[in-house]
Structure 1
Amino acid sequence: AGEAPADRLKALVDAAVQPVMKANDIPGLAVAISLKGEPHYFSYGLASKEDGRRVTPETLFEIGSVSKTFTATLAGYALAQ
């Protein structure tokens, strides 16, 4: 039998995210993807190295001083579409 679409999406996201996390020593990361209007959430690693708390779809991350860059990038993508 073929791989389920959700399993294939997870495999693709895993293949993209895990090497980046390893190469950049990123302890934890959350990814959200909207595919055909359906949200998909993926959580990787630790939210806190101190207490070993894992990242979940509900984990809040501080983006600090990169918020303007992040907003400008998203605005650029929106304009391109």
Structure 2
Amino acid sequence: MVSCLNEDPEGSRVTYMKGDLFACHKTDSLAHSISENCCMGAGIAVLFKKKFGGVQELLNQPKKSGEVAIYGSYIYYLDWMWA
């Protein structure tokens, strides 16, 4: 079960939720920071990769660290590159 808490009653587009992140509505967008090589090999990134896939689609976007890659309604912020 997911409970929502909108801390900005004046129409914020950001909603703070408590519960299972992956139980959100299909029209909601999720964002996560990943490495530039889209490895997603540790932490919650592994769950994103297993649930949504799309790694090749992310790699096909010519994005660099500091930029955003989008797969469906899922947003990935490329925050660094493995050396």
Of structures 1 and 2, the one with the larger relative CO (CA 8 A, separation 6+) is 2
TM-score, scaled to structure 1: 0.24
Task: Looking at secondary structure, tell me which structure has more strand per residue.
Answer: 2
